[in-house]
Amino acid sequence: MAHISTDDGNLIVEIEGLDKLWALKSRLTIPLAHVRGATADPGILKEPKGLRSPGTHVPGVITAGTFHIDGERIFWDVRDPAKAVVIQLADERYARLVVQVSDPRATVSLIEDALSG
């Protein structure tokens, strides 16, 4: 699971617990100027993941780490698709972040408010 916050013009994504091990990341810092938007998307896990490098994918259990598909690099950290949030990025290492959060609606609101404010 990930904890998302904003600070000093940045979006902070902190990977929690053992997911750090599976995702091979503990924190991502993205300038808000590079964040295009966020949506809660419980159906995202049904999409093809692409090639893992590096990461973990055990269907029905966890998808975590860096995946490459259609020329894009996507960061995943999802166990429960009902709590998945997709964050679209521009001019960053990753084209999208797909992360599980405790409250998807509140997280999307947090990001959208930070982008509009």
SS3 readout for the chain: CEEEEEECCEEEEEECCCHHHHHCCCEEEEEHHHEEEEEECCCHHHCCCCEEEEEEEECCCEEEEEEEECCEEEEEEECCHHHEEEEEECCCCCCEEEEECCCHHHHHHHHHHHHHC
* Res 45: pLDDT: 86
CATH 2.30.29 fits 2-116, yes or no: yes
pTM, two decimal places = 0.94
pLDDT cut 70: percent of the chain above it: 100
- pLDDT, tens digit, for every residue of 21-32? 888 889 999 999
**Per-residue model confidence as pLDDT tens digits over 49-58:** 888 888 888 8
Q: Where are the domains of the chain?
A: 2-116
85-112 per-position pLDDT tens digit = 999 999 999 999 999 999 999 999 999 9
Residue 109: per-residue pLDDT: 97
Average pLDDT of span 13-42: 94
Residue 54 is predicted with a pLDDT of 87
